[in-house]
Every structure is written in C-alpha cells, then in structure tokens.
Structure 1
Amino acid sequence: ARRIVSGDIPESLKNKRLVAMDLGAMIAGAKYRGEFEDRLKAFLKEITASEGGIILFIDELHTLVGAGAAEGATDAANIMKPQLARGELRCVGATTLDEYRKHIEKDPALERRFQPVQVAEPTVEATVAILRGLKERYEVHHGVRIQDAALVAAATLSHRYITDRFLPDKAIDLVDEAASRIKMELDSKPTELDQLDRQILQLEIERTSLAKEKDAASRERLALIEKTLANLKDKSKALTAQWQNEKTAVNAVSIVQSQLEQARLELEQARRQGDLSKSAEIQYGKIPDLEKRLADVASAAEGGGNVPAAGSSKKAPPSPSRLLRQEVTTRF
C-alpha cells in the first residue's frame, strides 16, 4: 500500500486503490436471511465496476469460509467464487499456514482461485532494520528516546527466549512495552520524592500525637521531629522543583519530536504531489531548524531542565543525579 502511494510500483499497478474488506461489519446487524448476501453483492458490484481499479484486501482470509452462512444461505466464499473465476475481482488475502490448511485447502474450488505466497519470518537482522524504521514513531508516541542498542537487544533476546510468537511482532512488542514503562515513570512521581513525602507524612502524624504529651521524653522526641521535618521539607521542596524542571524539559523534547515527525510527513506528501517549492522549503528550512531545536531541548533534558530558547546555542551541563529517565536502554 505504501509503495502504491509513493509510486514505487510497476506500470500495471499505477493509479490502483487498495481497499480492505471488513467482513465483521458486513455481518453485524444482518438479522434476516439474504441481508448479508445483499450487502456483500453490493460491495463486490462496486469493486467490479471499477474495472480493475480496485484491489481487494481481506485480512484473515479463512473467515470467508462459512461467513454469513445460515440455514439455506450461501457463505461469502461461494458468493465470491464466480467473480474470482472470471477474473473480475482482484483479491489479496492474508492468513496463517495452519488456517490455510484447515479452511482453504479443504475447498479445492476456492484454493484454485488464489496463488499461495508464503511469507517467511524475517531474520534478526531484518527485524533490527524494521525496528529502526519504527523507532521515531514510538519515540513520538511515548515521548521517550530509544537507544539503537535497545533495538538490537529486543530483536536478539525475543528471538532467543520468546518461542510462541514470531519476529518482528514479538520484538516490536518488547520495544513498545519498554517505552510505555519509561513513559509511566515519567508521568509518575519519582520514587525518591515519593518515599520522602511518605516519610514527612509519617513524621507529621507522629508530631500531632506527641503534641498532646507532657513528659520530658515526648518533648525531646517532638523537638527532634520538628528539626527532622524542617530538613526533609527543604529537601522535598528542592526535589519537587528539580522534578518539575525535568518534566518540562522532557515534554519539550516530546513536542519538538512530534513537530519533526509532522514535518517529515509533509515532506513526503509534497514530494508525491510534485510540489518542489514546498518540499525544498521543508527539507532545507523547516526540518534542519527542528533538528537543531531537538538537539538543544534534548541537551537541556539531559542536563535536568532549563529548556533553552529557540535559536539558542547554549548546551546544558549534564546533571549528576537526574530524577527522571527518558531513554530506553538494553536494561530498560
């Protein structure tokens, strides 16, 4: 589908549309006999009327067998067979090897209408390349940074230890889960600050209780609590300010990443439309400015906050003890 949009296809496929068939939506709400058949026939009539201009895509192709079949009714596969046989319908389907053997192979007439193309599981190296292509989208979606070493580790370790699933799906899920975990940490109060606030709350409860006591030991303990509370509150205030600064810097990185991703999408659209003026403006003006801005705000985030103004070339010094972690590494 992407190659059709970008024009990187043979001449025979140019100006074609790829339309996905939602079989579940067609079946939904079909109460009376013949209602599903009417819907499917109307859909197929519109496709055949395009005279080859539409290529039909059916995910989970095996669901055609028996779909919509009731007592005295015809299933979707039998309705489509005549048009497939006459070549009026161009159709691409996707299914698993097990489902193909279980449903499609048992119907020789339907099997003849399709040419099986087996798609092998990609290698670890190919999976790493796929992950690198998806990296920016996941960074924008989760608002985190993902190290290249983390992508290699996700592909290698998922291939080695997750045996009930296939590449690249299991590696993509690992990266997604790791990024979402970092995102949850970014949105939550840091553990160090949370523990400090709980300690302050506990001491305040104890102080309230001791304030009612009159003996010397209680008074001595109360004085110690007052002193400890003052120190802990000062520390909590400083950590809260640091946390807010770091959150601001992290959010700034996420915003610029989104703007950069949008600019790249606009560049692709301008190239497809042949708008050379707009594509040059985006490629040589807008994108370099956003990349420079991203480097500045990323440096500020690593330094613990203080996002520089747009156009500033100042780099923030690295922070010795950051509260927030924004990067997915080989160790999450």
Structure 2
Amino acid sequence: MKKHNFYAGPSILSEYTIKNTADAVLNFADMGLSLLEISHRSKQFQAVIDEASALVKELLEVPEGYSVLWLGGGASMQFCMIPYNFLAKKAAYIDTGTWAHNAIKEARLFGDVDVVASSADANYTFIPKGFTVPADADYFHYTSNNTIYGTEIRQDPDVPVRLIADMSSDIFSRPIDVAKYDAIYAGAQKNLAPAGVTLVIVRDEALGHMERAIPTMLDYRTHIKKGSMFNTPPVLPIFSALQTLKYYKQLGGIRAIEKIDLEKAGILYDAIDNSKMFTGTVTDPADRSIMNVCFVMTPEYKELEAEFVEFATARGMVGIKGHRSVGGFRASLYNALPVESVRALVECMKEFEAKH
C-alpha cells in the first residue's frame, strides 16, 4: 500500500533526497567511505557545504552582505542566539503560537520584550492585525508559520526596526525579500532535510554591536569566520539539504514551488469548506497556512474523530492526527508531498463522510 506522509516534522523528503543520501551513506563521492565516517574537513565535504550555501543564496535571491550558516541545536537554540546577538535593551515579538511563545520566553532573559500582539486567548486560531512595532525596539521577531495551529504570515512585514523571522516550517515555499531581514532561521526537518541542522541567513553588518560578552558558540561571527565549521557540523543533514536544494532547482525554483503548494492547499481547504463533517480551525482564510492544514469534526460528528484516524490510516494516510495540544487533524503539505497524496486524503474524507 502506498503511504501518504502528512507528518508535521520530521516530515516527508523527496525521493531524490532520500535516494542520493542513502547512496552517500554507502559510498560518498566515490571515496569508498560512508558519508557517516568521512572528515568534515575533507575537500569532498567542503564542496557539499559550499554548494549548499550557494544554492540557498540562488534560490532565495539572497543579496550581497549576508552569510549562510549551518548550525546545530535546532531552531530552539536560535531562540537564545538571536537575543544574544541582537537584543541590547528591548525587542518586539508577536505571539502567534507555541514556538513564538517559547522564543519570547528566551528573549526575556536578555532584555525587555514588548509582545505587540497575541492570539493566545483564541488558541492561536488567527494572526493578529493592526499592531504597532515600537521604533525604539532593537528588532521585531515573528514566526512565519505555526505548525501546531495552522496559521501563516505569507508576506514580509514592513517594520521600522531590524526584522528577524523563524521560518522553520515554510521556508522555500514562497519568495522572500531577504533584504528586509537581518536574520532568518529555520530548522531543517520540515522543508529541507532530516533533523539535526538549522539554516541561518544573517546580515553581516548587523552583528558585533552588543556590549555583552557572547559565548563563542553562540556568536554568529564565530560561525561566519569558520565557514560553519567551528565545531563538527551535522554532516548528513547538510548533505541531505544539498540534495533537496538541487531538487528545488530542478522543479523550477521557489516561484514554481509556491504555485504547486498553493494548488495542494487549495484542494484540501476546498474539500474542508464544502464538507458537512469537517471544518477548519483557522477562522480567517487569509491566515490559513499552506503548509499545515488543521481541521476538526463538526460538533455533531465529534465522536467520530478517532474512527476517522483509523479509517484514514488503513488507507495509507500517515501523520494526520492533530497535535496533542489542539486535537483534531493536521495535514502537513510540505514541498516534497505530491499533489496525489492530497487528492488521496480528500477522497478518503469524502468516503468517510458518505459512510456516515
């Protein structure tokens, strides 16, 4: 039976990425050695990290004056690295979900944090609008896509201060005006690679302005100077990331990928909106994520949620159960997910609805 992988992360990878990574685990770059056992300082792996960084810049049209870094620690490590490097007195954050909330918590260890808006009282089912970012903030931080709640900010904000974003679960799904940002970071395990590496894009001139001493490992300048090799980098995820980036280029780049992603999300949201049994959890269509589609049973069918998970699982749908904090269902439509999987889920939903 074909499996349709809707896991929210670690999540689906392209067959291209999986095959090439598997081959490299057996024999990397015709060295007669596994990718898992070669030196990260070998010329063969240096070529991998150089090409991966160049492709990030090409695909996202990163302007001059930015560095691409490959770091460990996950996006959660960036919750403290960002304020360590950028927060002198006060930062502005918007609270749109669990990971945004966690980033706020860490930033408060370094200075004042102005939470300019929050949708916590509504269980994060919408993106707040009409807020003001104070001009005296050192930076404004937002989380572009909220995997647990299914909301997304799909346009680069215009703010009067430095702009920083956690794009862990929607990077490479839309064009980004990188020149607006001083830092963008993304854990790899959604749209890029297996867990274990975090992509950081940082404006070089924005660094080095803190009076505080920054631990060596937490100073972005350390990793820029050492080419992401101050300590041993996560070799396998970086190699996998390179394969994914090559795959994205083959697809036609970010604009082509965005078109496909919008089509996939449109198919599923249309099915939800036209169903008597299922309903979306995000109230405003403008706030809906195209990466993580969250939905529940309507009240009269609520008792059938567990049965639907079993029904769908038996038909090859994997990972559609919603996050434990919100319940219901979540279908993650990351770049590697084929449109056929979305159509299969829709047919499964229609079949279950007809049954009941």
Q: Whose RCO is larger (CA < 8 A, sep 6+)?
A: 2
Specify the structure having the higher radius of gyration (Cα): 1
* TM-score, normalising length: structure 2: 0.22
* TM-score, normalising length: structure 1: 0.24
> When you count strand as a share of all residues, which structure comes out higher?
2
> When you count helix as a share of all residues, which structure comes out higher?
1
